[in-house]
Chains A and B, each alone.
Chain A
Amino acid sequence: MSDTPDSAPRKSTMRWIPLAIVAALGVLLFAGVLLSRNPNRDALPSPLIGKPAPAFRLPVLHEAGRLVTDKDLRGAPYLLNVWGSWCPACRDEHPVLTRFAETKRLRVIGFNWKDEHADALRWLEQFGNPYLMVLTDYDGKAAIDWGIYGAPETFLVDGGGIIRWKYVGPLTDEVIANELLPKLAQIDSQAGEGKPL
């Protein structure tokens, strides 16, 4: 090696470039693997977080002729849970939701989406009804305003009618403990006073 003094160090740095490229690729792929571990990776972030819940006027499943609007639900936070009797994941979620509803931490409202009236009633009869009230959207128009694209989906709306949180997929005890309850505590502290139900 009788290289000129200035080209020697350049040579040795150039030599590391392919290794650096491969290492960068490796890091990229590893990051991809880590990200794909999240079972909820396909969930879309809702652009409605922090915005007022869309205006709606929907029939109530158990009371023929009664219509409920978004304004009727104002005043205290509520959880809106999208479900359908055709949705297997909703059945998986059902015991978790029931357990949470029984704590009476806040109102749990059902959003019965793209269903049949009789099927919905039978489903609740069979598994139990965790909801304070079930709204029905059988043509799916209100669901589009909420940005709903699958069931189950769950929204947390505060007393002022602002959507504060959304979860796509079946709720689990972990999600309730790690995401929903802290969010709810934050809402309560902002409202100045905790208002259960």
Chain B
Amino acid sequence: MRALLLAFALMLSGAPAFAQVATDATPLRFADTAEETRFHALVSELRCVMCQNQSLADSNAQIAVDLRREVLELMRKGKSDEEIKDFLVARYGEFVLYRPQVESKTWLLWFGPALVLLAGGIIVVGAVRRRSRPSAQADNERTADRNEEQEW
């Protein structure tokens, strides 16, 4: 029984040690919570270039670790968030931004969904109008509709 307890205690003490190994070997140290908050807000808006569906904040890839360190260094040099983003865009391209800038290349990206919604709206309005036309044509319409339904 004692051996069992001991083994259990060892297991418990061992678990955090393994977790430590799995994470970054040299975690970043922050001067204060303001710096930490700003850092986390910034890196969660940046995409990891290696593992393209993760943010820089979430990724454990080596390059993400290096880029996080670089971002913190630039912050300490007094760079603004915009300057840090520009620094990364100049090296890795627009891709690192989760919110791409609005320019001629990205118009479709920004406004495409609105266009599709507009097109859908126009179709719906057209359909509704057709159905609620004056009753002089209503009978013809109804038979036509019925014919269509059967065919579809």
The total number of A-B Cβ pairs within 8 Å is: 57
Q: Tell me the bound Cα distance from A4 to B134 in angstroms.
A: 14
Contact B50–A146 (Cβ < 8 Å): no
Contact A47–B140 (Cβ < 8 Å): no
Contact A144–B91 (Cβ < 8 Å): yes
Contact B66–A144 (Cβ < 8 Å): yes
Contact A44–B49 (Cβ < 8 Å): yes
Q: Tell me the bound Cα distance from A90 to B25 in angstroms.
A: 25
Question: Is A48 among interface residues, defined by CB-CB distance under 8 A?
Answer: yes
Question: Is A104 among interface residues, defined by CB-CB distance under 8 A?
Answer: no
B108-131 residues at the A interface, CB under 8 angstroms? 123
Nearest neighbor of A42 in chain B, beta-carbon distance: B52
Residue from B50, B63, B152 whose CB has the most chain A CB atoms within 10 Å: B63
Q: Tell me the bound Cα distance from A186 to B128 in angstroms.
A: 61
Give the residues in chain B near A11, CB-CB below 8 Å: 144, 148
A126-159 residues at the B interface, CB under 8 angstroms? 139-141, 143-150
Nearest neighbor of A86 in chain B, beta-carbon distance: B62
Contact B144–A145 (Cβ < 8 Å): no
Partner of A46, one of B63, B93, B123, B137: B93
Question: Is A17 among interface residues, defined by CB-CB distance under 8 A?
Answer: yes
B70-112 residues at the A interface, CB under 8 angstroms? 70, 89-95
Give the residues in chain B near A15, CB-CB below 8 Å: 148, 151-152
**Contact surface of B with A, Cβ cutoff 8 Å:** 49-50, 52, 62-63, 66-67, 70, 89-95, 123, 137, 140, 143-144, 147-148, 151-152
